[in-house]
Structure 1
Amino acid sequence: MRTSNHLIGVLNFLTFLLSIPILGGGIWLSSRANSTDCLRFLQWPLIVIGVSIMVVSLAGFAGACYRNTFLMRLYLLVMFLVIAVLIGFIIFAYVVTDKGGGRRITNRAYLEYYLEDYSGWLEERVASDSYWGKISSCVRDSKLCAKMGKTINGVPETADMFYLRRLSPVQSGCCKPPTECGYIYQNETVWNLGSGLMAANPDCTKWSNDQEQLCYACDSCKAGVLASLKKSWRKVSVINIVVMIILVIVYIIAYAAYRNNRRMDNDEPYGEARMTKAQPSAFHL
């Protein structure tokens, strides 16, 4: 009995530790939301799951230490629900970030982003007029474009240097015009009209050298935000998958230990059920 309780206690302590990376992932997404991703509602499922695992683990730990059957049953039930929700969240994260990605452009190290490459619930939510106003304001307030300025030995970088930079999706989509529009580089966030014809891309007419406007109204900016979200969610999902697998293993072991505790409470020797004990023994001469 004591060994089983110790095992359950150790397992609950492990699940408590496992809740830390999940909670950390939610907090990391929250910090991203305040800087580049700007979708603050996305981190809350992870934070709720992380806090739930912490609370449930503490309940299971207390139940094991004090042999409280109610707490142990509550722990097993809630942990099952938490694992189910975590699996659902992982599937949801992969489904909504399944499509889309940057396109390679000739003579450019950075990628270009197009809204038509994305589709589904997340794309519709980001691209909607009611939601994009808040997101674009958040991207503007993050000053991400203003931080793009770069000098070499006190001299501003040339166009060729800029073309070799690896920009983030938001920087590529929101802080400069699409390459196909034919704008001429003056500095990182100032581009002049070229002498040739503009492409049919509607973003070409939305670009502005006004530092408060830039390409925040462009579809490429929306695509850049979606690409940044996809990258962030995929990183967190890898951690969640590892934690989920460990949680399932821990849950199975904890359930087996709990069954063993119940068997001992009923004075049942291992491998012998109560109904077997109730049967009369065979008559021997």
Structure 2
Amino acid sequence: MVRASNNLVGLLNLVTFLLSIPILGAGIWLAQKASNDCERYLEKPVIVIGVFLMLVSLAGLIGSCCRVSWLLWIYLLVMFLLIVILFCFTIFAFVVTNKGAGEALSGKGYKEYRLGDYSNWLQKRVNNTKNWNKIKSCLIESKVCSSFSDKYLNDTVERFYSEHLSSLQSGCCKPSNDCNFTYVSPTVWNKPADGVYTNPDCSSWDNSSSVLCYDCHSCKAGLLDNIKSDWKKVAIVNIVFLIFLIIVYSIGCCAFRNNRHDNSYGYGGGWKR
């Protein structure tokens, strides 16, 4: 009789296998339908995750239900490595997102973002020209500032200053408050005649929809603030997932021990170690 731990591991891996099918299907669909670099960037990780879940769940399913000890051993090894990697990533995510926050401005509903406030590791990623060109392309294609302009198009300057903007909108779609530009519309600002700026972002600003402040440090900082918020959420989810994985791993160890015991006594039909 197959023991309870084997049944439970088999059931959990059956569910995981079924979940891997739509994930893999989504990756293949993205590969066929991707129309820009941003969408193509997602397809490979999704496909890899789908294939990985499918293979690991099959190993756990066959290893536990058919009592194939070597397959279950591989499954447990992968699970152990996954727990270690996930634990390290969670700690890393908390460390690199510990620094940085938007600066509240008097009389403004939005915050402004400074690149130097964030961790050095994150700063290096966005200061790499190759990386930033890809990110900038994605920001433009996702129409972050186009939708921003449409949404606040009819705002007066007083109304605009009271808006609660996202970090990307504040950093990429409008000039810094330091520039003292004259407001015309959300993405159109007139520069002062003297053109002397203490903030280098002011020189980077252009009213062209393909330029705006996409090359500003504030835009990079706005992106990092967005990443920081997302990574903190992911880290919290990872903690829950880690607890789940540790429980499954413990049950898997019991199933592996059952397999060894049954095989040593000649049980398990034709399946041996």
Distance in 2 (CA, whole Å) between partners of 1:85 and 1:60 is 19
Name 2:252's counterpart in structure 1. Answer: 254
Name 2:83's counterpart in structure 1. Answer: 83
Name 1:12's counterpart in structure 2. Answer: 13
Gaps of 5+ in 1: 269-285
Name 1:186's counterpart in structure 2. Answer: 184
* 1:171 aligns with one of 169, 172, 176: 169
Q: Is the 8 A contact 1:11 1:254 kept in 2?
A: no
TM-score where L is the length of structure 1: 0.76
Deviation at 1:241, TM superposition (A): 1.9
Q: CA RMSD in A?
A: 3.5
Name 2:270's counterpart in structure 1. Answer: none
- The 5-angstrom pairing of residues 152-231 of structure 1 reads 156-194=154-192, 200-231=198-229
- The 5-angstrom pairing of residues 1-285 of structure 1 reads 1-4=1-4, 5-13=6-14, 48=48, 51-150=51-150, 156-194=154-192, 200-267=198-265
> Equivalent residue of 1:156, what SS?
coil
Deviation at 1:88, TM superposition (A): 2.3
Deviation at 1:190, TM superposition (A): 0.7
Name 2:271's counterpart in structure 1. Answer: none
Q: Specify the code of the residue in structure 2 equivalent to 1:58.
A: L
Distance in 2 (CA, whole Å) between partners of 1:147 and 1:134 is 20
Q: Is the 8 A contact 2:197 2:203 kept in 1?
A: no
Gaps of 5+ in 2: 267-273
Deviation at 1:246, TM superposition (A): 0.5
Q: Specify the code of the residue in structure 1 equivalent to 2:212.
A: L
After superposition, what is the alpha-carbon deviation per residue over 1:69-111, rounded to whole angstroms, capped at 9, x for unaligned? 2211111111111222222222233333332121111111111
TM-score where L is the length of structure 2: 0.79
Deviation at 1:10, TM superposition (A): 2.4
Deviation at 1:265, TM superposition (A): 3.5
> Equivalent residue of 1:186, what SS?
strand
After superposition, what is the alpha-carbon deviation per residue over 1:114-142, rounded to whole angstroms, capped at 9, x for unaligned? 11112322211211233323322332232
Q: Is the 8 A contact 2:176 2:201 kept in 1?
A: yes
Q: Is the 8 A contact 2:67 2:259 kept in 1?
A: no
After superposition, what is the alpha-carbon deviation per residue over 1:11-44, rounded to whole angstroms, capped at 9, x for unaligned? 4346558879xx79xx8xx9xxx9xxx6987997
- CA 1:19–1:161 in structure 2 vs 1: closer, same or farther (change >3 Å)? farther
Deviation at 1:235, TM superposition (A): 2.2
Distance in 1 (CA, whole Å) between partners of 2:205 and 2:218 is 11
| Alignment: residue pair count | 256
- Report the more deviating stretch, 181-190 or 159-168: 159-168
- CA 1:73–1:244 in structure 2 vs 1: closer, same or farther (change >3 Å)? same
- CA 1:15–1:91 in structure 2 vs 1: closer, same or farther (change >3 Å)? farther
Q: Specify the code of the residue in structure 2 equivalent to 1:191.
A: W
Distance in 1 (CA, whole Å) between partners of 2:245 and 2:107 is 47
Q: Is the 8 A contact 1:159 1:185 kept in 2?
A: yes
Deviation at 1:57, TM superposition (A): 1.8
Distance in 1 (CA, whole Å) between partners of 2:114 and 2:151 is 29
- Report the more deviating stretch, 3-12 or 111-120: 3-12
Deviation at 1:238, TM superposition (A): 2.0
Larger radius of gyration: 1
Distance in 1 (CA, whole Å) between partners of 2:45 and 2:241 is 15
Q: Is the 8 A contact 1:182 1:196 kept in 2?
A: no
- Report the more deviating stretch, 191-200 or 124-133: 191-200
